[in-house]
Structure 1
Amino acid sequence: MKLLILGATGPTGRHVVDLALRSGDSVTTLVRDPSALGDLTEKVTPFTGDATSHRDIVAAAAGQDAIVSALGRGSSVRADGLFTQASAAVIGAAKEAGISRLVWLSSFGVGETFDRSSAAQKTIFRTLLRSIYADKRIADDRIRSSGLDWTVVYPTRLTHGPAKGTYSADDRLPMKGNPTISRADVAAFMHQAAHGSEWLHRSPVISD
C-alpha cells in the first residue's frame, strides 16, 4: 500500500512509519525538515513542506492510496490552529489527488467523547488541554463531514511505553481515572485501520 504519513517525525508518527516499512508499504512523508527523519531518509520518499498547506499536501499525495495523519503539538498546550488548518488542507488535497482513505489522530476527550470522560479526565480537558481540544473538535467534525472514507482515532493519554497489543478499541469504552495507551499501540491501530474497512466512518476510542 502507498501511504502518505503526516507527522512522521513526531513520536507517534515515527512508529507508524516504522510499522509501514516493516509491512512492505511504500511510505511518503511530508515534513518541514527532512533531516529530522534521520535514518529513515533513505527508506521513504520525503517531501519538504507544511501539513497546513494544500499545495504541499497535493504534491506529496500524488499516487498514494491513503493518508495517515499523526500530527500533534508535542508538549505544547496551545493549538495555534494546527488541526483546523491541517484538516482543511488534507481534505481538499485528498479530493484533488483522488484519495478517499484518511486515518486521522485525535484525542479522547475531544468533542462528544468529553461527555464519556471520567471526572479526573474532565478536569484536565477543561483546563490544560482546552485550547488544543477546541481546535481538534473543529477539525474532527470537518473530517466526518468531508465525504472521505475517514477514521478518526481517539486514544486516551499517550505514553512512550512499548506496544502491548492488548489494548481495547470500540466506539465507546468505559473510563475510570486517567487511563493510558502507548504511542506504539496507537500507531499499530492506525496502520491496521488504514489497511482495512472495519473502522470506516467510525470514531474508535482506544485505551489499555
Structure 2
Amino acid sequence: MAKLLVIGGSKGIGREVVLRALEQGHSVRAFARHPEGIKHDHPELELVAGDALDPAAVAQALEGCDAVVSALGIPKSIPALARPTTVFSDATAVLIPAMEAAGIKRLLVVTGFGAGESNAAMSTLERMGHSAILGRAYADKAVQEDMIKASGLDWTIARPGILSNNRRTGVYRVLTEPSDWRNGIISRADVADFIVTAWEEGSHIHAAPVLVR
C-alpha cells in the first residue's frame, strides 16, 4: 500500500487530498500544526503535529512515505494577506533537501492561478485585483515554484482558479497549454481529485497546469 504525506493536511485542499487518498485505498500521513482539525477517523490515517519550517520534523514525517503533497496556506484574513510572507518558499527550502535525503522523488504542490508564468494569462483587471489582495502571498508562491522547478524531483504544480467548497464532481479542465490558461471556479475537492489521480497515474510530471471547471 502506497503512503502519502500531506503537508498542510488539516484544512482546505490539504484536507480534501487526505480524504480522497483514503477513499482511493491509500495510507495517509497528515502533517500540520493542528492535524486534529481534519476531524476524520480512518485506520490508514496517521496524524502528525509539526511545523513545515522545522527540518527535523519534516525529515521525520517523510519516513516511510512514497510521495508528498504540499498544500500549505495562510489565513484568509485581510491582516494576514496584507503582510509580506515567505512561508511557501521557506517551507520548500526545507522540504526539497529533506526529500532528496530520504530518496523520495514525487512531489505535488498546490499554488494557484496567477502564480509564476500563469500571471501573464490574467487580464489587466484580474491582475490588479489579484495583486491588491493576494499579491504578497503569490509573490512568494512564484519563488516557491521556481525552487521546485529547479529541483531534481518529479514535481507537479497544480494552479487552481477560484476555490469553492462544493462537492467533488470529477468534471474539470486541466489546462496545460499557456494559450488555454484562464481563471474560473473549481472546488477544493476536485483539486484534490486531480492531485491524487496525478500521483496514482504518474501524470503531469514537470507540468504546472491551471485547474478550472
1:109/1:121 contact within 8 Å kept: no
Count of matched residue pairs? 206
2:11/2:38 contact within 8 Å kept: no
Mapping 1:1-150, distance limit 5 Å? 1-40=2-41, 43-75=44-76, 76-77=80-81, 78=83, 80-150=85-155
Per-residue deviation, 1:197: 2.3
Per-residue deviation, 1:120: 3.5
The root-mean-square deviation of aligned C-alpha atoms, in Å, is: 1.6
The runs of at least 4 consecutive aligned structure 1 residues that moved more than 4 Å come to none
Partner deviation per Cα, 1:77-134 (whole Å, 9 max, x = no partner): 2453210111111101111111000000001101110111133321222211110010
Distance 1:126 1:53, change over 3 A: same
Partner deviation per Cα, 1:42-97 (whole Å, 9 max, x = no partner): 64122221112221111010111100111111414245321011111110111111
**140-149 or 41-50, which moves further after superposition?**
41-50
Instruction: Name the SS of the counterpart of 2:152 in structure 1.
Output: coil
Per-residue deviation, 1:13: 1.1
Distance 1:145 1:127, change over 3 A: same
d(CA) in 2 for partners of 1:130 and 1:89? Answer: 23
TM-score with structure 1 setting the length = 0.93
TM-score with structure 2 setting the length = 0.91
d(CA) in 1 for partners of 2:39 and 2:212? Answer: 30
1:103/1:150 contact within 8 Å kept: yes
d(CA) in 1 for partners of 2:89 and 2:41? Answer: 28
d(CA) in 2 for partners of 1:130 and 1:39? Answer: 33
d(CA) in 2 for partners of 1:185 and 1:35? Answer: 23
d(CA) in 2 for partners of 1:116 and 1:35? Answer: 38
d(CA) in 1 for partners of 2:210 and 2:181? Answer: 10
d(CA) in 2 for partners of 1:16 and 1:104? Answer: 11
